Amino acid sequence: MPGLTSHPPSAASPLRDWLEYIEALHPQGIALGLERVAQVWQRMAVPLACATIVVGGTNGKGSTCAMLDAILRAAGYRTGLYTSPHLLRFNERARVDGREVDDAALVRAFTAVEAARARAPAVALTYFEFTTLAVLAHFGGAGLDCAVLEIGLGGRLDAVNIVDADCAILTSVDLDHQDYLGDTREQIGWEKAHIFRDGRPAIVSDPRPPATVVEVAHARGARLALLGRDFGYVGQHDRQVRQWKFWATLGAGPVTRNGLSYPALRGANQLLNAAAALAAIEALRERLPVSMQAIREGLAGVEWPARFQVLPGRPLVVLDVAHNPHAAAVLADNLSNIGFAPATHAVFGMLADKDIAGVVKLMMPRIDTWHLADLPGPRGMSARDLAGILGGCGVASGIVLHPDPAAAYAAARAAAGENDRIVAFGSFLTVAGVMQAMQQPAAT
C-alpha cells in the first residue's frame, strides 16, 4: 500500500514532520473499519486502565466532552480529554488535566505507534486511526482517573470504538456524513448506537432518537437511559435568578440537583448537553463520585472555543463551527436570542460534501451580507461555487467573494458598523482561518 515504505521521522523530529508523515500513510483520508486500528492497538499492549466515557452524536459532542472534563477536574480527578478535529494546533485534540499535551510527548506516542504499525506485516493506518492510537497510548501512561473520548465519525467503525467504554453518550442523530453513514436518521442512528456496550450505561440525549438507537441498545444489552424518561432538565427563570434543575432515575434511586448555574458555554442547546454530561456522572457515581460543588464549578468554568463563542468588543463577533443543517438551526436560534443588531455579516465557507443548501436556507433570515471564502483541499468549496448555491436558494444580493477566510473576515470587519455583528461559520476550516487572522498583529 502507498506510504508503507516511506521513511518515518525520528524520535527527535518535530511534531510537524510526524503529522505530514502520518497524513501520507493511507491512500484514503477516511477508511472506516476497526480491523487495522485494533490490530496495531493489540500489538502496542498499552492498557487504558482508567474509567472511560465515549461521546458520539451528530452535534453537541465536543461541548458535552468539555463539560464532563471540567466537572471531573473540579472534583479532583486526573482527566484525559480527546476531541477532534482541532482548530489551530493538533495539540488541542489531546489534553491531560485541562492542558494540551506537548509536542515532545506526542512525538513519543507517535514513535510507539509507528513501531507497532510497521512490524511485519505492516498496517496502513489513516491519519485519524494513527493519531487516535497515539493519544490513547499517551493516556494509558498518564495515570488518569478518567478519559473522555469523542467519536470522530459515526460510531460502529470509528477508531475510538476500540475502547470498551464504561459509559457511552449519544448526543444527537441527524443527517451528516451520509456518504459513510447512510441517508436517513434511522441508518445513521444504527451506526452511532454501536458505541454502546453490554451491561453499561448508554445515555441518549437526543429528544427524538431514531428507533434504531433503542433497538441497538437493547440488542447489545446496554443500560439505556433516555432523555425525558430516565433523566432530564428544567430551566428555571425569574427576573433575578437564572438557574436550572437536573433529575435522573438511573438505577441507584432518584436524584435531583436543584439550583444549578447555567453552563459558561452559550446557547440554549447547552442545557441539553449539560444534562447528558450529568446523566453520565450519575451513572458512574459509584466509581467517580462528584459533589454538587464540583458540578457548579465545572459548569461555571467550562470553555470550548467556536461553539457559539461570542467575543467581546464591537462589532460583536460570533464563532461557530456549525456545518450541517441541524447545527445551523441551533445557530440561527441562538442568534435570535442575543439581541438586535442593525446588520449581520457572515464569514462563510463550507466543504463540498456537506448539505450547503440546507445550511444556507436556515441561516438566510439571519444574514444581511455574505462574505464567502474559498476553502483549501480536495473537499473545499470555492467561493464562486458557493455563491451559485446561495443564488439557487434565493439569495439575490449581498454576496462578496474572497480567496480565504482571513480575507473574508477582514472585509466583514471593514464593512461592519460598531453595532453590527459578524458570524463566522460553516466549517472548522472557516473558523480556524478567522481565528488565525484575529491573532495577527494589526498592520501599522
Task: Write the pLDDT tens digit of every residue in 176-218.
Answer: 766 767 889 999 999 999 999 999 999 999 999 999 999 999 9
> Among 5-19, 283-297, 414-428, where is mean pLDDT lowest?
5-19
Same-domain pairing of 176 and 255 = yes
All residues at 6 or more sequence positions from 178 whose CB lies less than 8 Å from its CB, including other chains? 188
Q: Give the H/E segment covering residue 170.
A: strand 167-170
| Residue 1 placed within a domain | no
State the total domains in the chain.
Answer: 2
Same-domain pairing of 124 and 144 = yes
Cα–Cα distance list, 15 to 11, 135, 144, 252 (Å) = 10, 14, 24, 46
The owner of cell 527527535 is 12
Same-domain pairing of 154 and 174 = yes
CATH number at residue 281: 3.40.1190.10
Same-domain pairing of 46 and 68 = yes
Segment 130-150, tens digit of pLDDT: 999 999 999 999 999 999 999
Q: Give the H/E segment covering residue 101.
A: none
The pLDDT of residue 438 is 92
The pLDDT of residue 81 is 98
Residue 5 pLDDT class (50, 70, 90 cuts): very low
Span between the terminal Cα atoms of the chain, in Å: 51
The pLDDT of residue 268 is 77
| Residue 47 placed within a domain | yes
CA distance 322 to 361: 14
Distance of alpha carbon 229 from its chain centroid, rounded?
26
Same-domain pairing of 293 and 395 = no
| Residue 3 placed within a domain | no
| Residue 226 placed within a domain | yes
Same-domain pairing of 226 and 188 = yes
CATH number at residue 334: 3.90.190.20
Q: Which of 279, 301, 323 is the last residue of a domain?
A: 301
| Residue 143 placed within a domain | yes
Same-domain pairing of 206 and 144 = yes
Same-domain pairing of 289 and 173 = yes
Summarize the confidence of residues 359-385 as an average pLDDT. Answer: 95
Summarize the confidence of residues 216-237 as an average pLDDT. Answer: 93
The pLDDT of residue 11 is 85
Indicate the pTM of the whole model: 0.92
Q: Kindly report the backbone phi and psi dihedral angles of residue 255, in degrees, each rounded to the nearest multiple of 5, phi listed first.
A: -130, 135
Which 3-state string (H, E, C) describes 114-135? HHHHCCCCCCCCCHHHHHHHHH
E runs forming strands in 210-324 = 223-226, 231-237, 242-249, 254-261, 309-311, 316-319
Summarize the confidence of residues 93-101 as an average pLDDT. Answer: 97
Same-domain pairing of 181 and 267 = yes
Cα–Cα distance list, 275 to 132, 199, 248, 251, 383 (Å) = 27, 21, 9, 17, 39
DSSP type of residue 92: G
Summarize the confidence of residues 224-237 as an average pLDDT. Answer: 91
Q: Give the H/E segment covering residue 15.
A: helix 15-23
The pLDDT of residue 154 is 86
> Among 129-133, 247-251, 417-421, where is mean pLDDT lowest?
247-251
| Residue 5 placed within a domain | no
Give which of 97, 207, 195 is closest to 154, Cα–Cα: 195
Give which of 220, 242, 244, 221 is closest to 234, Cα–Cα: 244
Average pLDDT of the chain, as a whole number: 92
Range of the domain at 364: 309-437
**217 and 196 in contact (C-beta within 8 Å)?**
yes
Residues counted in the chain: 444
The pLDDT of residue 370 is 98
Same-domain pairing of 232 and 314 = no
Summarize the confidence of residues 51-55 as an average pLDDT. Answer: 98
Give which of 431, 318, 416, 430 is closest to 374, Cα–Cα: 430
The pLDDT of residue 2 is 42
Residue 239 pLDDT class (50, 70, 90 cuts): low
Q: Which of 301, 330, 364 is the last residue of a domain?
A: 301
The pLDDT of residue 29 is 62
Tally of helices (H runs) and strands (E runs) in the chain: 15, 17
| Residue 6 placed within a domain | no
Same-domain pairing of 105 and 228 = yes
Summarize the confidence of residues 256-283 as an average pLDDT. Answer: 92
| Residue 4 placed within a domain | no
Q: Which of 261, 276, 301 is the last residue of a domain?
A: 301
Same-domain pairing of 231 and 318 = no
Residue 444 pLDDT class (50, 70, 90 cuts): very low
| Grid coordinates given for 226 | 433516555
Residue type, position 106, single letter:
L
In our burial notation (b when 16+ CB lie closer than 10 A, e otherwise), range 73-90 reads bbbebebbbbbbeebeeb
| Grid coordinates given for 404 | 480565504
**Residue 3 reports pLDDT greater than 50:** no
- What's the longest Cα–Cα distance across the chain? 67
Summarize the confidence of residues 370-376 as an average pLDDT. Answer: 97
| Grid coordinates given for 222 | 446496554
